[in-house]
Structure 1
Amino acid sequence: MELRTKDRVAVPLIITLSIVVPVLVLILMYLPQRYNIFGAQSGTFPLFHAVINGSTAILLLAGYYFMRIGDFKRHRNFMITAFVLSAVFLVSYVISKISNDPVPYGGEGSLRYIYFFILITHIVLSAIIVPLVLFTMYRGLTGQYEKHKKIAKWTFPIWLYVAVTGVLVYILMFPYY
Protein backbone atom coordinates (compact mmCIF):
# COMPACT_ATOMS: atom_id res chain seq x y z
CA MET A 1 0.00 0.00 0.00
CA GLU A 2 1.32 3.43 -0.95
CA LEU A 3 2.31 5.75 1.92
CA ARG A 4 -0.20 8.40 0.86
CA THR A 5 -2.99 5.79 1.01
CA LYS A 6 -1.76 4.59 4.41
CA ASP A 7 -1.83 8.19 5.67
CA ARG A 8 -5.45 8.58 4.52
CA VAL A 9 -6.38 5.70 6.80
CA ALA A 10 -3.90 6.13 9.68
CA VAL A 11 -4.14 9.88 10.26
CA PRO A 12 -7.95 10.00 10.77
CA LEU A 13 -7.72 6.84 12.91
CA ILE A 14 -5.02 8.42 15.11
CA ILE A 15 -7.04 11.63 15.44
CA THR A 16 -10.19 9.66 16.32
CA LEU A 17 -8.38 7.60 18.97
CA SER A 18 -6.77 10.77 20.33
CA ILE A 19 -10.21 12.21 20.97
CA VAL A 20 -12.09 9.05 22.00
CA VAL A 21 -9.55 7.75 24.55
CA PRO A 22 -9.39 10.86 26.81
CA VAL A 23 -13.15 11.43 26.54
CA LEU A 24 -13.83 7.79 27.49
CA VAL A 25 -11.53 8.03 30.51
CA LEU A 26 -13.21 11.30 31.55
CA ILE A 27 -16.67 9.73 31.29
CA LEU A 28 -15.57 6.70 33.29
CA MET A 29 -14.21 8.92 36.06
CA TYR A 30 -17.73 10.23 36.67
CA LEU A 31 -19.73 7.01 36.44
CA PRO A 32 -22.59 7.12 38.94
CA GLN A 33 -22.09 3.42 39.73
CA ARG A 34 -19.05 1.11 39.65
CA TYR A 35 -18.97 -2.44 38.31
CA ASN A 36 -16.13 -4.37 39.90
CA ILE A 37 -15.68 -6.80 37.03
CA PHE A 38 -12.78 -8.76 38.52
CA GLY A 39 -13.55 -8.28 42.20
CA ALA A 40 -10.24 -6.44 42.65
CA GLN A 41 -9.55 -4.37 45.75
CA SER A 42 -9.05 -0.65 45.17
CA GLY A 43 -5.29 -0.82 45.91
CA THR A 44 -4.59 -3.56 43.37
CA PHE A 45 -4.85 -1.45 40.24
CA PRO A 46 -2.72 1.50 41.42
CA LEU A 47 0.23 -0.76 42.28
CA PHE A 48 -0.05 -2.49 38.91
CA HIS A 49 -0.26 0.90 37.16
CA ALA A 50 2.80 2.19 39.02
CA VAL A 51 4.80 -0.89 37.98
CA ILE A 52 3.72 -0.44 34.36
CA ASN A 53 4.53 3.28 34.44
CA GLY A 54 7.95 2.67 36.01
CA SER A 55 8.71 -0.08 33.49
CA THR A 56 7.60 2.19 30.66
CA ALA A 57 9.96 4.92 31.88
CA ILE A 58 12.87 2.46 31.93
CA LEU A 59 12.01 1.20 28.44
CA LEU A 60 11.79 4.77 27.13
CA LEU A 61 15.20 5.61 28.55
CA ALA A 62 16.69 2.43 27.07
CA GLY A 63 15.07 3.18 23.70
CA TYR A 64 16.48 6.71 23.80
CA TYR A 65 19.92 5.35 24.65
CA PHE A 66 19.88 2.93 21.72
CA MET A 67 18.73 5.68 19.38
CA ARG A 68 21.63 7.89 20.55
CA ILE A 69 24.21 5.17 19.85
CA GLY A 70 22.67 4.36 16.47
CA ASP A 71 21.26 0.92 17.30
CA PHE A 72 17.92 1.59 15.63
CA LYS A 73 16.70 -1.99 15.77
CA ARG A 74 16.97 -2.05 19.57
CA HIS A 75 15.58 1.48 19.73
CA ARG A 76 12.51 0.35 17.78
CA ASN A 77 12.06 -2.77 19.92
CA PHE A 78 12.28 -0.88 23.21
CA MET A 79 9.89 1.81 22.00
CA ILE A 80 7.38 -0.74 20.71
CA THR A 81 7.55 -2.53 24.06
CA ALA A 82 6.97 0.80 25.86
CA PHE A 83 3.99 1.39 23.59
CA VAL A 84 2.57 -2.06 24.34
CA LEU A 85 2.98 -1.50 28.08
CA SER A 86 1.25 1.86 27.75
CA ALA A 87 -1.64 0.19 25.91
CA VAL A 88 -1.88 -2.43 28.69
CA PHE A 89 -1.87 0.41 31.20
CA LEU A 90 -4.68 2.19 29.36
CA VAL A 91 -6.90 -0.90 29.25
CA SER A 92 -6.20 -1.61 32.93
CA TYR A 93 -6.84 2.01 33.86
CA VAL A 94 -10.21 1.97 32.10
CA ILE A 95 -11.11 -1.27 33.92
CA SER A 96 -10.03 0.27 37.25
CA LYS A 97 -12.23 3.32 36.66
CA ILE A 98 -15.21 1.08 35.93
CA SER A 99 -14.43 -1.10 38.97
CA ASN A 100 -13.50 1.22 41.83
CA ASP A 101 -14.55 4.58 43.22
CA PRO A 102 -11.86 7.28 43.09
CA VAL A 103 -9.73 7.49 46.23
CA PRO A 104 -9.36 11.07 47.53
CA TYR A 105 -5.96 12.45 48.42
CA GLY A 106 -5.64 12.96 52.17
CA GLY A 107 -2.36 14.84 52.42
CA GLU A 108 -2.07 18.31 53.90
CA GLY A 109 0.18 21.34 53.72
CA SER A 110 2.74 21.92 50.99
CA LEU A 111 2.72 18.23 50.03
CA ARG A 112 -0.91 18.67 48.97
CA TYR A 113 0.06 21.44 46.52
CA ILE A 114 2.93 19.35 45.16
CA TYR A 115 0.63 16.35 44.74
CA PHE A 116 -2.02 18.32 42.86
CA PHE A 117 0.58 20.01 40.64
CA ILE A 118 2.00 16.60 39.72
CA LEU A 119 -1.47 15.10 39.27
CA ILE A 120 -2.85 17.91 37.11
CA THR A 121 0.20 18.07 34.84
CA HIS A 122 0.15 14.26 34.63
CA ILE A 123 -3.52 14.22 33.58
CA VAL A 124 -3.20 17.04 31.03
CA LEU A 125 -0.07 15.57 29.47
CA SER A 126 -1.63 12.07 29.48
CA ALA A 127 -4.28 13.36 27.09
CA ILE A 128 -1.72 15.16 24.94
CA ILE A 129 0.59 12.14 24.77
CA VAL A 130 -1.96 9.90 23.04
CA PRO A 131 -1.73 11.54 19.59
CA LEU A 132 1.98 12.25 20.00
CA VAL A 133 2.81 8.59 20.69
CA LEU A 134 0.51 7.32 17.94
CA PHE A 135 1.94 9.71 15.33
CA THR A 136 5.52 9.08 16.45
CA MET A 137 5.07 5.31 16.28
CA TYR A 138 3.30 5.53 12.93
CA ARG A 139 5.97 7.76 11.38
CA GLY A 140 8.79 5.55 12.64
CA LEU A 141 7.20 2.26 11.60
CA THR A 142 6.35 3.55 8.12
CA GLY A 143 9.91 4.75 7.53
CA GLN A 144 9.08 8.46 7.65
CA TYR A 145 12.18 9.08 9.73
CA GLU A 146 12.45 12.87 9.35
CA LYS A 147 8.84 13.34 10.49
CA HIS A 148 9.45 10.73 13.19
CA LYS A 149 12.47 12.65 14.52
CA LYS A 150 10.61 15.97 14.55
CA ILE A 151 7.67 14.67 16.57
CA ALA A 152 9.77 12.36 18.77
CA LYS A 153 11.60 15.42 20.15
CA TRP A 154 8.29 16.38 21.77
CA THR A 155 6.93 12.91 22.41
CA PHE A 156 9.85 11.47 24.33
CA PRO A 157 10.10 14.01 27.19
CA ILE A 158 6.33 14.25 27.59
CA TRP A 159 5.87 10.47 27.56
CA LEU A 160 8.72 10.05 30.05
CA TYR A 161 7.21 12.75 32.29
CA VAL A 162 3.80 11.03 32.21
CA ALA A 163 5.37 7.66 33.05
CA VAL A 164 7.47 9.03 35.93
CA THR A 165 4.68 11.19 37.39
CA GLY A 166 2.38 8.15 37.23
CA VAL A 167 4.73 6.49 39.69
CA LEU A 168 4.96 9.64 41.83
CA VAL A 169 1.17 9.91 42.02
CA TYR A 170 1.06 6.31 43.25
CA ILE A 171 3.75 6.97 45.87
CA LEU A 172 1.97 10.08 47.13
CA MET A 173 -1.40 8.27 47.19
CA PHE A 174 -0.07 5.06 48.77
CA PRO A 175 -1.18 5.87 52.34
CA TYR A 176 -4.77 6.39 51.16
CA TYR A 177 -5.37 3.16 49.22
Structure 2
Amino acid sequence: MLAVPKTGTSAYAKALADRAGLIVQDPPELKHAPVYRYNRFFRPMLEKVGADHMDMMAVVREPVSWLGSWYRYRQRPFLDGKPGSTKSVTFDEFVRAYCMDQRPAFANVGSQAKFVEPRPNGTKVSHLFQYEDQPKILGFLEDRLQTKITLPQVNVSPSMPLELTGATRDLLAQTCPDEFTIWRSAKGAL
Protein backbone atom coordinates (compact mmCIF):
# COMPACT_ATOMS: atom_id res chain seq x y z
CA MET A 1 0.00 0.00 0.00
CA LEU A 2 1.54 3.25 -1.14
CA ALA A 3 1.04 6.15 1.29
CA VAL A 4 -0.33 8.93 -0.90
CA PRO A 5 -0.26 11.99 1.40
CA LYS A 6 -3.60 13.22 2.78
CA THR A 7 -5.53 10.04 1.91
CA GLY A 8 -5.84 8.35 5.30
CA THR A 9 -2.98 5.92 4.85
CA SER A 10 -1.54 6.68 8.31
CA ALA A 11 -4.70 5.23 9.85
CA TYR A 12 -4.41 2.10 7.70
CA ALA A 13 -0.72 1.71 8.60
CA LYS A 14 -1.57 1.94 12.30
CA ALA A 15 -4.51 -0.46 12.01
CA LEU A 16 -2.46 -3.03 10.06
CA ALA A 17 0.89 -2.63 11.82
CA ASP A 18 0.73 -5.99 13.58
CA ARG A 19 0.06 -7.79 10.27
CA ALA A 20 2.56 -5.92 8.11
CA GLY A 21 5.90 -7.31 7.08
CA LEU A 22 7.28 -3.84 6.45
CA ILE A 23 6.09 -0.38 7.48
CA VAL A 24 8.06 2.71 6.54
CA GLN A 25 7.32 5.63 8.86
CA ASP A 26 10.35 7.86 8.31
CA PRO A 27 11.77 9.74 6.55
CA PRO A 28 8.70 11.21 4.80
CA GLU A 29 10.38 10.79 1.40
CA LEU A 30 10.29 7.02 1.90
CA LYS A 31 7.03 6.83 3.89
CA HIS A 32 5.32 8.66 1.05
CA ALA A 33 7.20 6.85 -1.71
CA PRO A 34 5.43 7.29 -5.06
CA VAL A 35 5.51 4.57 -7.70
CA TYR A 36 8.79 5.83 -9.17
CA ARG A 37 10.53 5.71 -5.75
CA TYR A 38 9.00 2.33 -4.92
CA ASN A 39 10.29 1.07 -8.28
CA ARG A 40 13.78 2.40 -7.61
CA PHE A 41 14.27 1.43 -3.97
CA PHE A 42 11.68 -1.02 -2.64
CA ARG A 43 10.90 -3.22 -5.66
CA PRO A 44 14.52 -4.37 -6.18
CA MET A 45 14.90 -5.10 -2.46
CA LEU A 46 11.67 -7.09 -2.31
CA GLU A 47 12.49 -9.02 -5.48
CA LYS A 48 15.85 -10.05 -4.00
CA VAL A 49 14.01 -11.80 -1.16
CA GLY A 50 11.57 -13.52 -3.51
CA ALA A 51 8.62 -11.13 -3.31
CA ASP A 52 8.31 -10.42 -7.00
CA HIS A 53 5.06 -9.66 -8.85
CA MET A 54 3.53 -7.92 -5.85
CA ASP A 55 0.19 -6.17 -6.10
CA MET A 56 0.37 -2.50 -5.27
CA MET A 57 -2.53 -0.44 -3.97
CA ALA A 58 -3.03 3.27 -3.49
CA VAL A 59 -5.80 5.66 -2.53
CA VAL A 60 -6.46 8.99 -4.24
CA ARG A 61 -8.77 11.73 -3.10
CA GLU A 62 -11.08 14.06 -5.03
CA PRO A 63 -8.70 16.91 -5.98
CA VAL A 64 -10.50 19.82 -4.27
CA SER A 65 -10.93 17.76 -1.11
CA TRP A 66 -7.26 16.65 -1.29
CA LEU A 67 -6.10 20.26 -1.61
CA GLY A 68 -8.46 21.23 1.22
CA SER A 69 -6.79 18.67 3.46
CA TRP A 70 -3.37 20.05 2.58
CA TYR A 71 -4.58 23.61 3.18
CA ARG A 72 -5.98 22.72 6.61
CA TYR A 73 -2.87 20.71 7.52
CA ARG A 74 -0.67 23.69 6.68
CA GLN A 75 -2.76 25.90 9.00
CA ARG A 76 -1.30 24.10 12.04
CA PRO A 77 0.69 26.23 14.49
CA PHE A 78 3.97 24.36 13.95
CA LEU A 79 4.16 25.98 10.48
CA ASP A 80 3.47 29.54 11.70
CA GLY A 81 5.95 31.94 10.13
CA LYS A 82 7.34 29.31 7.77
CA PRO A 83 7.06 29.44 3.95
CA GLY A 84 4.83 26.32 3.94
CA SER A 85 2.17 27.89 6.17
CA THR A 86 -1.26 28.72 4.72
CA LYS A 87 -2.25 30.96 7.64
CA SER A 88 -2.00 34.16 5.58
CA VAL A 89 -3.91 32.93 2.50
CA THR A 90 -7.47 31.90 1.78
CA PHE A 91 -8.28 28.46 0.42
CA ASP A 92 -9.15 30.06 -2.91
CA GLU A 93 -5.72 31.75 -3.02
CA PHE A 94 -4.07 28.44 -2.07
CA VAL A 95 -5.76 26.58 -4.96
CA ARG A 96 -4.89 29.39 -7.39
CA ALA A 97 -1.26 29.18 -6.24
CA TYR A 98 -1.36 25.40 -6.73
CA CYS A 99 -2.35 26.02 -10.35
CA MET A 100 0.77 28.13 -11.02
CA ASP A 101 3.74 26.82 -13.01
CA GLN A 102 6.07 27.87 -10.18
CA ARG A 103 4.16 27.11 -7.00
CA PRO A 104 5.02 29.06 -3.87
CA ALA A 105 6.19 26.90 -0.94
CA PHE A 106 2.78 26.93 0.77
CA ALA A 107 1.11 25.42 -2.33
CA ASN A 108 3.88 23.03 -3.34
CA VAL A 109 2.16 19.79 -2.29
CA GLY A 110 2.88 17.50 -5.21
CA SER A 111 0.47 15.61 -7.43
CA GLN A 112 -1.59 12.50 -6.84
CA ALA A 113 -1.49 11.74 -10.58
CA LYS A 114 2.33 11.88 -10.60
CA PHE A 115 2.46 9.85 -7.38
CA VAL A 116 0.72 6.87 -8.97
CA GLU A 117 2.15 7.28 -12.48
CA PRO A 118 3.23 3.88 -13.94
CA ARG A 119 6.90 3.28 -14.74
CA PRO A 120 8.24 2.30 -18.18
CA ASN A 121 9.26 -1.14 -16.84
CA GLY A 122 5.62 -1.98 -16.07
CA THR A 123 5.66 -1.20 -12.34
CA LYS A 124 2.24 0.25 -11.56
CA VAL A 125 -0.58 0.43 -9.06
CA SER A 126 -2.81 -2.60 -9.52
CA HIS A 127 -5.58 -1.48 -7.10
CA LEU A 128 -6.45 2.23 -7.05
CA PHE A 129 -9.26 3.38 -4.77
CA GLN A 130 -11.12 6.63 -4.21
CA TYR A 131 -10.62 7.94 -0.67
CA GLU A 132 -14.32 8.76 -0.51
CA ASP A 133 -15.24 5.06 -0.82
CA GLN A 134 -13.86 3.84 2.52
CA PRO A 135 -16.20 0.80 2.64
CA LYS A 136 -14.70 -0.44 -0.65
CA ILE A 137 -11.12 0.08 0.61
CA LEU A 138 -11.90 -1.67 3.89
CA GLY A 139 -13.72 -4.49 2.15
CA PHE A 140 -10.81 -5.07 -0.21
CA LEU A 141 -8.25 -5.14 2.60
CA GLU A 142 -10.39 -7.25 4.93
CA ASP A 143 -11.00 -9.78 2.18
CA ARG A 144 -7.35 -9.81 1.09
CA LEU A 145 -5.98 -10.07 4.63
CA GLN A 146 -8.79 -12.18 6.06
CA THR A 147 -9.17 -9.92 9.08
CA LYS A 148 -11.50 -7.27 10.47
CA ILE A 149 -10.00 -3.77 10.37
CA THR A 150 -10.85 -0.96 12.77
CA LEU A 151 -9.45 2.37 11.66
CA PRO A 152 -8.17 4.79 14.31
CA GLN A 153 -8.33 8.57 13.91
CA VAL A 154 -4.76 9.54 12.94
CA ASN A 155 -3.25 12.74 11.55
CA VAL A 156 -6.63 14.42 11.02
CA SER A 157 -6.47 18.01 9.78
CA PRO A 158 -8.51 20.58 11.72
CA SER A 159 -12.03 21.12 10.43
CA MET A 160 -12.86 24.48 8.85
CA PRO A 161 -15.04 25.85 6.07
CA LEU A 162 -13.33 26.01 2.69
CA GLU A 163 -14.59 28.54 0.16
CA LEU A 164 -13.70 28.10 -3.52
CA THR A 165 -15.07 30.25 -6.34
CA GLY A 166 -16.38 28.65 -9.51
CA ALA A 167 -13.62 30.42 -11.48
CA THR A 168 -10.93 28.86 -9.28
CA ARG A 169 -12.55 25.44 -9.51
CA ASP A 170 -12.55 25.81 -13.31
CA LEU A 171 -8.90 26.93 -13.27
CA LEU A 172 -7.95 23.82 -11.28
CA ALA A 173 -9.81 21.55 -13.70
CA GLN A 174 -8.12 23.23 -16.69
CA THR A 175 -4.57 23.35 -15.32
CA CYS A 176 -4.57 20.00 -13.49
CA PRO A 177 -6.82 17.67 -15.53
CA ASP A 178 -4.70 14.61 -14.66
CA GLU A 179 -5.66 15.01 -11.00
CA PHE A 180 -9.34 14.63 -11.88
CA THR A 181 -8.72 11.88 -14.43
CA ILE A 182 -6.80 9.67 -12.00
CA TRP A 183 -9.41 10.19 -9.28
CA ARG A 184 -12.28 9.30 -11.64
CA SER A 185 -10.39 6.20 -12.81
CA ALA A 186 -9.94 4.86 -9.28
CA LYS A 187 -12.29 1.88 -9.03
CA GLY A 188 -10.21 -0.58 -6.99
CA ALA A 189 -8.65 -2.73 -9.71
CA LEU A 190 -6.87 -1.40 -12.78
- TM-score (structure 2 length as normaliser): 0.26
Structure number with the higher strand fraction is 2
- TM-score (structure 1 length as normaliser): 0.27
